[in-house]
Chain A
Amino acid sequence: MTEQNIIQLRQIEKRFGKVVAVSKFDLDLRAGEFFSLLGPSGCGKTTALRMIAGFQEPTSGKIIIDGQDMDGIPANQRPTNMVFQSYAIFPHLNVGNNVAYGLRGKGISKAEIDTRVAQALEMVELGGLQSRGATELSGGQRQRVALARSLIMRPKVLLLDEPLSALDKKLREQMQFELRHLQQELGITFVMVTHDQYEAMTMSDRIGVMFEGRLVQVDAPPTLYAKPCNNEVASFIGEMNFFPAEVKAEHAESLTITTPCFGTMEIERNPNVATGGRAIEVGIRPEQLEISALEPEGYDATTQGTVRNVAFYGENVHYHVEVDGVKKPIAASVPNYFHTVDYRQGDTVWLGVQSASVIDLGQDQSKS
Chain B
Amino acid sequence: MTRPSGLAIYAIAYLVFLYLPVLFLPLFSFNDGTIVAFPIKGWTLEWYRQLGGQDALIGALMNSVIVGLLAATLATSMGLFAARAYVRYRFRGKKASEGLVMLPLVIPGIIVASSMLVLFISIGIKPSLTAITLGHTFLALPFAVSILKSAFDDFDPSLEEAAYDLGSGVVETFRRVTLPIVAPGIVASLLVTFTVSFDEFVLAFFLSGSETTLPVYIWSQIRFPAKLPNTLALGSLLLLASVALLVVAEFFRRRSAKSTFGGSK
Chain A residues within CB distance 8 Å of chain B: 53, 55, 74-77, 80-82, 84-86, 88-92, 101-102, 105-106, 134-135, 149-150, 153, 166
Contact = CB atoms under 8 A, between A and B. Distances in A.
Contacts of A85: 158
B177 interface: yes
A91 B155 CA distance: 10
Given A88-B159, A92-B259, A153 B167 contact: yes
Contacts of A55: 161, 164-165
A97 to B, nearest CB: 10
Contact of B177 (A74, A90, A150, A166): A90
B261 to A, nearest CB: 6
Interface in B155-197: 156, 158-159, 161-169, 172, 176-177, 180-181
Given A90-B177, A91-B261, A92-B180, A84 B158 contact: yes
B256 to A, nearest CB: 11
Contacts of B108: none
A81 B158 contact: no
B167 A149 contact: no
B166 A153 contact: yes
Interface size class of B (residues with CB under 8 A): 20 to 34
Residue with the highest number of chain A CB atoms closer than 10 Å, among B166, B169, B180: B166
Contacts of A134: 261
Contact of A105 (B165, B172, B261): B172
A107 B236 CA distance: 55
B21 interface: no
B260 interface: yes
B159 A90 contact: yes
Interface in B204-245: none
Contact of A84 (B162, B168, B259, B260): B162
A120 to B, nearest CB: 13
30 contacts: A53-B165, A55-B161, A74-B164, A75-B161, A76-B165, A76-B167, A76-B168, A80-B165, A82-B162, A84-B161, A85-B158, A86-B156, A86-B158, A88-B156, A88-B158, A88-B159, A88-B161, A90-B163, A90-B177, A91-B159, A91-B181, A91-B260, A92-B180, A102-B167, A105-B172, A134-B261, A135-B259, A135-B261, A149-B166, A153-B166
